[in-house]
Amino acid sequence: MAAIYDDRPCELGEGPLWHPERGQLFWFDILGRRMLTRTAEGAGTLHLPEMFSAAGWVDRDRLFAASETGFWLIGIGAGTVERIGTLEADDPGTRSNDGRADPQGGFWIGTMGKGAEPGRGAIYRYLKGEVRRLFPNISIPNAISFAPDGRQAQFADSAARKVWRVALDAAGWPAGEPELLIDLAGQPGVPDGAVCDAEGNLWLAEWGAGRVAAYAPDGRFLRAVAVAGRHASCPAFGGPDLRTLFVTSARENLTAAEIAAQPLNGCTFAAEAGATGLPEHRVLP
């Protein structure tokens, strides 16, 4: 069972990022419009101008982040937020969701309808100022993650309860059609955020099931880490040896009675998962 890392409840915790140069975890409360962090000195919060959901690191003092309308640079020490690009800014009915930096310096980000309308979202890639739509007609994009060799990406549509894998070319663009990797139809959990470990296993947060499950590169279930929050939302490897699995969770759509019965919903957790992660890749803005 994962232990509590941070007891500040998030309405929709997402996007945990272990900064490899700072040795520091950052994550978002999407609906709360804030970025959270914790260091030896204590907890920190940056209040944001709109809903932010995912980030990568640019250098020691800057994060690259995606929001409901665009791409931004966040000054970590200064607390500054500077827009550098747009993302479906002409559609007030959508927002960003899951995202992660790829090994080639790009950043993949999914969008979705604010009411999770079927097929309203998409997955995009940002690379050095260029934005391309990779996969349209996705309802709830999640599980964006990359194999250790950088030649394959994974992504999910939570509404379809499926995770796909797609080959990448040397520059990190999709090279072929996605193939089904994991199908959770009929299972208690819904695929949410994911990250690969150094062996290429996929660690998948399963919304509604209170766990992060590890799957082999061929999609076989290996084992799971239990999380006290019912809605585990996204994992990230961190710590000095990248062997700590951090997991965000959410309170979204839970009743007051459900939260009272399980007050740890929405907290952020940490566990020794028996696996070693990979350093998060740098974004080239």
Residue 192 bears catalytic tag: yes
3-state secondary structure the chain: CCEEEECCCCCEEEEEEEECCCCEEEEEECCCCEEEEEECCEEEEEECCCCEEEEEEEECCEEEEEECCEEEEEECCCCEEEEEEECCCCCCCEEEEEEEECCCCCEEEEEEECCCCCCCEEEEEEECCEEEEEEEEECCEEEEEECCCCCEEEEEEHHHCEEEEEEECCCCCECCCCEEEEECCCCCCEEEEEEEECCCCEEEEEECCCEEEEECCCCCEEEEEECCCCEEEEEEEECCCCCEEEEEEECCCCCHHHHHHCCCCCCEEEEECCCCECCCCECCC
Of 192, 197, 218, 241, the active-site residue reads: 192
Which residues belong to the active site? 192
